[in-house]
């Protein structure tokens, strides 16, 4: 398995191109199941999860062609078309690797009236149930059994629009039911729907495909079902979590970095947090500039919430920054029950963090020191890279396959801004 070696202490200066959002690209690729015409998705990030999703969709009968961007590190363009669904099973082997595979469930049931999708099972972050996905489809009229670890869905009498209330805000739950509702007779109302920019991006693309959706960007989405959807050409929204991650890379190294393609309106909560910490974030013609010139990093408490609150996907990265802050920061993780696996690894680098249930208290230390550390999940892995950028000495992050799921060309992009970082390829 590849590892990443970082020699800390360099100040980041320069610019970083932000690619399309992983968590928008994944549902958008599944929207290709809803039409027999070509769905063109631009700004498709080069990530392991995108490759995994493409493999799954091809197994279902989706025809996919990928066009490369101008440079090796550029985003790509993907063309997705589904003349017919030739297979409606998403195997455990693929689903266990990537939970977002559950996003084929709604489109399959809506398009061909049946689906057999492996239950994703738990993951490092916790149990990660999908009960709300299943319940919503049942409310639309699908019959669902759980057989041998698979969700077996069918719609012998077709699907019919209804009102679905989410007791818990669920991003992929909203996306699954939003896609299904586009091909369901009648009106469907999704109440307490997720409002993440990736959900909005999906809704906007579905409208380009001929869907009738109102309330986009709000917590209530109203869909008038159609018989078919047509193709479209859609540019995937920039990845706000990648923006927030590189913003913290600039802050933690006392740097000055421009994030090309970043959209301030999608990370207001992170910008507000960084400004409280003492980091300057300003809009530029091409995105956002992030600089920290003051010597201190102020300790600021965090509570993760659904959008537009502080994103849980930014919690590990913010914690890395708080490790060298001037006081104690209390971090409440309210979304996932086990999203502190980066803590013991950061403590190996000299951080002073105590965890009590879903609350971590980070007491700032004057400096971190490099150490061999292990990635455990996508955002934990990047928090270790961030800490390594600021630490004294060498940090080696192992199991970087976690990192490659959500960050494309991370070592190239950071090295181009002055970081001393390289990938240690696993022996073939």
Q: Which residues bind ligand EPZ (CB under 6 A)?
A: 23, 26, 99-100, 128-133, 168, 170-173, 312-313, 335-336, 378-379, 406
Task: Please give the C-alpha separations between residue 138 and each of 117, 132, 153, 234, in angstroms, as whole numbers.
Answer: 15, 10, 9, 30
> Concatenated DSSP letters for 352-367?
EEEEETTEEEEE--S-
Query: Cα–Cα distance between 424 and 2 in angstroms, integer?
Result: 6
Report in angstroms how near the CB of residue 30 gets to ligand EPZ at its nearest.
Answer: 11
Look-up: residue for tokens 């998403």?
A: 90
Phi, psi angle pair for 364, to nearest 5°: -60, 145
Report in angstroms how near the CB of residue 166 gets to ligand EPZ at its nearest.
Answer: 8
CB nearer to ligand EPZ: pick between 135 and 185? 135
CB nearer to ligand EPZ: pick between 131 and 145? 131
CB nearer to ligand EPZ: pick between 133 and 409? 133
Phi, psi angle pair for 302, to nearest 5°: -135, 140
Report in angstroms how near the CB of residue 21 gets to ligand EPZ at its nearest.
Answer: 9
**DSSP element (H, E) containing 421:** strand 420-424
Phi, psi angle pair for 331, to nearest 5°: -115, 115
Query: Cα–Cα distance between 143 and 128 in angstroms, integer?
Result: 22
**359, two tokens:** 């609350």
Query: Looking at 123, 323, 347, 417, which residue is catalytic?
Result: 123
Report in angstroms how near the CB of residue 241 gets to ligand EPZ at its nearest.
Answer: 6
Report in angstroms how near the CB of residue 283 gets to ligand EPZ at its nearest.
Answer: 25
Q: Are 20 and 28 in contact (CB under 8 A)?
A: no
Active site residue 123: yes
CB nearer to ligand EPZ: pick between 26 and 151? 26
**330, two tokens:** 């209390």
CB nearer to ligand EPZ: pick between 75 and 368? 75
* Maximal C-alpha separation, the chain: 66
Q: Catalytic site residues?
A: 123
């Amino acid at each position: 398995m590849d590892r990443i070696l970082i020699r800390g202490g360099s100040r980041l200066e320069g610019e970083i191109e932000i690619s399309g959002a992983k968590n928008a690209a994944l549902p958008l690729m599944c929207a290709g199941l809803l039409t027999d015409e070509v769905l063109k998705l631009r700004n498709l990030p080069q990530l392991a999860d995108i490759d995994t999703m493409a493999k799954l969709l091809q197994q279902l009968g989706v025809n996919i062609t990928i066009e490369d961007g101008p440079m090796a590190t550029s985003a790509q363009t993907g063309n997705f078309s589904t003349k017919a669904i030739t297979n409606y099973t998403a195997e455990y082997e693929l689903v266990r690797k990537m939970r977002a595979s559950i996003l084929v469930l709604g489109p399959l049931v809506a398009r061909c009236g049946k689906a057999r999708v492996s239950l994703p099972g738990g993951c490092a972050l916790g149990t990660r149930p999908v009960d709300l996905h299943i319940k919503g489809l049942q409310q639309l009229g699908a019959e669902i059994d759980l057989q041998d670890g698979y969700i077996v869905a069918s719609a012998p009498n077709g699907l019919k629009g209804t009102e679905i209330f989410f007791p818990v805000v669920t991003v992929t739950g909203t996306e699954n039911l939003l896609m299904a509702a586009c091909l369901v007779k009648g009106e469907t109302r999704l109440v307490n729907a997720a409002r993440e920019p990736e959900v909005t991006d999906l809704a906007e693309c579905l409208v380009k495909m001929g869907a009738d959706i109102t309330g986009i960007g709000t917590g209530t989405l109203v869909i008038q079902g159609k018989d078919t959807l047509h193709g479209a050409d859609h540019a995937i929204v920039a990845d706000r979590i990648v923006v927030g991650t590189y913003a913290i890379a600039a802050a933690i190294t006392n740097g000055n970095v421009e994030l090309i393609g970043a959209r301030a309106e999608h990370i207001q909560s992170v910008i507000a947090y960084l400004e409280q910490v003492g980091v300057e974030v300003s809009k530029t013609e091409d995105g956002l500039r992030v600089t920290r010139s003051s010597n201190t990093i102020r300790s600021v408490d965090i509570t993760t919430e659904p959008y537009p609150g502080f994103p849980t996907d930014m919690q590990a990265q913010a914690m890395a920054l708080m490790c060298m802050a001037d006081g104690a920061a209390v971090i409440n993780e309210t979304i996932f029950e086990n999203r502190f696996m980066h803590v013991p690894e950061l403590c190996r680098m000299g951080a002073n963090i105590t965890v009590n249930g879903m609350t971590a208290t980070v007491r700032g230390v004057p400096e971190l020191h490099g150490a061999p550390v292990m990635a455990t999940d996508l955002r934990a892995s990047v928090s270790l890279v961030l800490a390594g950028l600021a630490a004294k000495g060498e940090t080696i992050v192992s199991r970087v396959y976690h990192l490659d799921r959500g960050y494309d060309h991370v070592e190239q992009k950071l090295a181009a801004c002055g970081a001393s970082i390289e990938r240690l390829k696993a022996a073939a």
